[in-house]
Structure 1
Amino acid sequence: MKPTMQTNLFLATLLGRLATAQTPPSFDWDSISPSTSLAYTDCYGAFKCAKLSVPLDWLDESSNGTNGTDRVSLAILKLPAVVNDTDPTFGGTIITNPGGPGGSGVEFVLLAGSRMQSVADGEKHYEILSFDPRGVGFTEPKSDCYNDEFSRAVTSIQQRSLGPLTGGLEIIRRQRALYDAYGRLCERGPDIHRYMTTSSVARDMVEIIDKIDELRQKEAQSSVPRYRRGASQQFQTRQEKDLPRIQYWGFSYGTVLGNYFASMFPGRVGRMILEAVVDVHDYYSAAWEKNLIDTESDYNTLFTTCFDGKANCALYQPTDSSASDIRARFDAFLASLDATPAQYVSPDSNNIEQFTRDDILGIVFSTLYQPLLYFPTLASGLAQAMEGNLTAVYQTLTQVPRSSAGYCPTPAPTEYTWASDALAGIGCGDAEPQAASTVAGFAGYLGTLEAQSPHFAASWAHIHLTCDTWRVRPAYRFAGPWTTPAPTGANASAEAGRPAAPILFLSSLHDPVTPRANAVAMAAEHPGAAVLTQANAGHGTLEVPGKCRDDYVKVYLATGEVPPADTVCEPDCEPFQPCAELEAGAAAKRSLGKRAGDGAPEWPPRRRLPLSVV
């Protein structure tokens, strides 16, 4: 797969969409001012937004102001619970992170907040809250190394034109040189890169839960008669064991954030679900060698579920006797592209393109994250391409704007296009400093990944290459250990320095980038933790309906009780099969902003990050 810096330095060709993007209703974040307390404003219809001002450097809190270069303004969004905060069934706030690193929590809650709520709500009802971490999305300052969309696009085109890393030592040498230039660009870029580590974001979350508690206490006090308000300041002098605790549900890289938080602040953990689990040691070392273990098995489900779906899958033919027949045709198509890349001339512009095996596999890789949602659209696009109609492929992969109007009147970004810069600032900033590898050494590393996933290793290897040439070192980063004391248990009194409940690790059975083995390994480092598996393919389980999974999550959030060891739940839906719950969820998402009557599912987002569920 041919990488692009425009969308993601780390994952190649995860670029376009075949259908109209799911764009939430607009909201002007400049209309609200940052504050050191939570002051919510109605936004995006049923949601509430706020900007929380926190210190740029948590080790230097000398600034008392709410603005300026020594502060960070966190964009926060929440989906209120279906009951009032005073209702006895209100279960509190679940803070979530979609992964990335660099994924927008604001965007995630807009698109998946109601889905999370439906899984979590049972006897208790929860509000879902997230935020754009440092340098990300609507949070300021931003971590944009370019601040110029034309320059970003030029780099992206250069990157793709060099070819895949599997093309030999000369291509590795040239790719590395371009990444090195990118590292130099970001080195002179925004200062926020020094303060974006997961350690700082974990400390931001402590501030968020404290401010949530502060606001709730004030709102409760405001309903108390004036003559009874003398005890209103009790929460300011509570003992450590009584401080507010987080309820957290993190996905993919969000499991790294959760692991950091629990390890740094174990006494502030109430409930913690870590889904699609990253091996934190592999992440910290910048090796990225424990991600592709199950990728090929996930890839194989494209063909097995297509065969099972028969006419519901555009790649299926009536003469097929097994999934192997479908895969053989697709392999032959890939081989033909090795021999002669496909050519395309745009019918509505003067743009031309050529597409290779790596381009097609890049599209496939992006759909492995959510097969239930994307396999049907993928199959349709691939079937067209195999018949010579490359329009869908062009719309997915092209980097060329239809006209110069895309950069006029200003090339400055008008949406969140610097996700790759944020990813590098967080992921490479968290990692141990990398000694520059030789070209031959990197080729050996690529070989290690190819042994795990011959189809998709080249794309994943870009992460290591980026950190290899990253120059900005953070002001502070946590170096472990990543573990927690034994939890107190649901029926015991809270104790300072100990989680209130064990951590629940959640995994799919065939995950393209966070294999179940990671969940098992991480759970072993946290006393009492359990692993719950849902037997679906894809990155995590959230977008795959499953009542069994839902019931365990509801019980855990309400009581702190984890499932029995080695529990495996079956999913309620499979790709290419009817799924009423999925259709209902798609309709809800379309109501956020898709064109009226446009029922097509979203194609993989252009900003697909390697460890993200959005």
Structure 2
Amino acid sequence: MTRFVRWTALVVAAGLLTAGCTGGGSGDGSGDGGSQDDGKGASALDWGACKSSGDEPAPGDGWQCATLKVPLDWSKPDGPTIGLALIRAKATGDDRLGSLLFNFGGPGGSGVDMLPSYAGTAAKLRERYDLVSWDPRGVSASEGVRCRSDKDIQAAEAKVDGTPDTPAEERTFLADAVDFGKGCEKSAGKLLAHVSTTDSARDMDRIRQAVGDDKLNYLGISYGTELGGVYAHLFPDKVGRLTLDAVVDPTADAVGHAKNQSLGFQRALDNYLKSTGKDPEQGSREIADLLRRIDAEPLPTSTDGRKLTQSLALTGIVLPLYTKEGWPTLTLALETAEQGDGTALLTLADGYNEREPSGRYGTTTHSQRAISCLDDKQRPSLADVKKLLPEFEEISPVFGPFLGWDLAGWCHEWPVPGQFHTPEVSAPGADPILVIGNTGDPATPYEGARRMADELGKDVGVLLTWKGEGHGAYGSGSDCVDATVDSFFLEGTVPKDGKVCS
């Protein structure tokens, strides 16, 4: 479990992620996919054909990639630079409005990998916008951070207890956290101190300049909402048509985020249990008991001799709660686990952890930890967490203990100091920003959307509520939500604050 459960976990499990790309040669072979400074601090992008990513082929026709150079350290704009990988699909219609930038969450999610699979959802928006996304600094093709090898990741999964029960397990838990941080420092070097949300928000404005837009049009999902809020605070006069979906609570510190997610996932689990005809309180006790038994004796699986640990089981339970369509899969996985077979839950956990059958792991979690630990100034100690655990267990007997313990290990002895307790998102004078909250959202509970709208400021944050299930609202089955978002982006129509879609 990690503090910000990433939105991309859903599409990983569903097998929707398509090939990524990095900056490559131009379509006619004449370009290098890089960028050239325009003499004003921005760069003119040299869009070209996308290259394949790893073993995956490049995305199909209609996709272009480029690399944008930005300062490593924004306080030294004339100093060393890093390259950001971008991807684009040009508008299909003649009445083009500009570019629409996407961030799909994490932190640590690859926009270059994700955008091609999301293009169907955004097909109507593509009629008038170039669809654009990028790998934020420290992510994948943009100087991606990798903190440990695949072999070491799998070894840690087997030996580290996410809810340590003994002093020896506590020592192993904290030692693993220190080792992970050292691996990140070795991999990232000086970059580790420059992958914050504020750094990426400044990168976004450089992207805006590079694509030639006077104002930023943006759709941020999950962590992308925090990034969008920080951008609005830094550049209120550059806010164009900006939408935040599946909203991270900007008023919550590290402990608050962990409590929010305990509440959100428990709420989603309760809704799932009700759908099966079970009493949520009784069903949660049964799942908590199953996890305790697995903690004492990991379950066998049919996957290369690997065993299902308690932490992997919990991760497997988390994943199908991201969408109502995943609930039947959760039922099957829990039933087989009760029968002594951990294969189904392990398969779900592998989907969340981006583990391929070959044993290769993705690095989203590596980037996610590097970014969030640079952001977070609050770093609870082991003693702090032990005092908080009863509160977490009261919020959720299933998820509370894991998310509570996670606070002690996530940024333990991190190599660089954190920057803030909570992000600043106030944006006085900005154009209206559409903020979408889903009442059944597990990872970013609904309450955060109202708080984001309030923090953005009067006449800026406009709240749209969807009474639905799953993480995120746009493209999730609500004609009301989709029509409202489309109208906002395509026509500039701002809905009434407080509009509800059921």
Aligned counterparts, 1:553-568, within 5 A? 553-568=485-500
User: Is 1:49 equivalent to 2:65 in the alignment?
Assistant: yes
TM-score by length of 1: 0.68
User: Is 1:362 equivalent to 2:364 in the alignment?
Assistant: no
Q: 1:464 to 1:483 in 2, by over 3 A?
A: farther
Q: Identify which range, 425-434 or 243-252, moves more after superposition.
A: 425-434
Structure 2 counterpart of 1:204: 203
Structure 2 counterpart of 1:353: 307
CA distance in 2, matches of 1:269, 1:169: 51
Structure 1 counterpart of 2:479: 547
Structure 2 counterpart of 1:427: 372
Structure 2 counterpart of 1:491: none
SS at match of 1:179: helix
Deviation of the 1:281 alpha carbon: 3.3
SS at match of 2:263: coil
Aligned counterparts, 1:50-449, within 5 A? 50-63=66-79, 70-83=80-93, 87-88=94-95, 90-118=96-124, 120=125, 125-139=128-142, 141-146=143-148, 148-159=149-160, 163-165=161-163, 167=165, 171-190=169-188, 191-213=190-212, 244-283=214-253, 288-305=258-275, 307=276, 322-324=277-279, 332=286, 335=289, 338-339=292-293, 341=297, 343-344=299-300, 346=302, 349=304, 351=305, 353-356=307-310, 359-372=312-325, 374-397=326-349, 417-432=362-377, 434=379, 437=381, 439-449=382-392
| 8 Å contact kept, 2:438–2:473 | yes
| 8 Å contact kept, 1:502–1:527 | no
CA distance in 1, matches of 2:427, 2:208: 19
SS at match of 1:524: helix
CA distance in 1, matches of 2:465, 2:10: 31
Structure 1 counterpart of 2:415: 471
Deviation of the 1:328 alpha carbon: 5.5
SS at match of 1:531: strand
User: Highest Rg: 1 or 2?
Assistant: 1
| 8 Å contact kept, 1:286–1:428 | no
Q: 1:60 to 1:283 in 2, by over 3 A?
A: same
Given residue 471 of structure 1, which amino acid in structure 2 is its aligned partner? P
SS at match of 2:138: coil
CA distance in 2, matches of 1:389, 1:285: 34
Q: 1:266 to 1:441 in 2, by over 3 A?
A: same
Deviation of the 1:534 alpha carbon: 1.0
Given residue 199 of structure 1, which amino acid in structure 2 is its aligned partner? T
Given residue 143 of structure 1, which amino acid in structure 2 is its aligned partner? V
Deviation of the 1:389 alpha carbon: 4.7
Deviation of the 1:363 alpha carbon: 1.4
| 8 Å contact kept, 2:105–2:223 | yes
Q: Identify which range, 286-295 or 363-372, moves more after superposition.
A: 286-295
CA distance in 1, matches of 2:490, 2:20: 34
CA distance in 2, matches of 1:101, 1:398: 19
Question: Unpaired runs of 5+ in structure 2?
Answer: 26-31, 37-43, 51-58, 352-356
Question: Unpaired runs of 5+ in structure 1?
Answer: 64-69, 214-242, 308-321, 400-404, 408-412, 486-497, 571-614
Please give the per-residue CA displacement for 1:115-152, whole angstroms capped at 9, x wherever unaligned. Answer: 1334x46xx6322211000010111x222223x33233
Deviation of the 1:54 alpha carbon: 1.3
Q: 1:443 to 1:246 in 2, by over 3 A?
A: same
CA distance in 2, matches of 1:207, 1:17: 28
Given residue 24 of structure 1, which amino acid in structure 2 is its aligned partner? T
Q: 1:464 to 1:206 in 2, by over 3 A?
A: farther
Deviation of the 1:208 alpha carbon: 0.7
Given residue 417 of structure 2, which amino acid in structure 1 is its aligned partner? R
Which structure carries more relative contact order (alpha carbon 8 Å, separation 6+)?
1
SS at match of 1:248: strand
SS at match of 1:376: helix
Q: 1:165 to 1:264 in 2, by over 3 A?
A: same
Q: 1:78 to 1:286 in 2, by over 3 A?
A: farther
Deviation of the 1:329 alpha carbon: 7.1
Deviation of the 1:432 alpha carbon: 2.0
| 8 Å contact kept, 2:18–2:114 | no
TM-score by length of 2: 0.82
Deviation of the 1:539 alpha carbon: 1.4
| RMSD (CA atoms) | 3.4
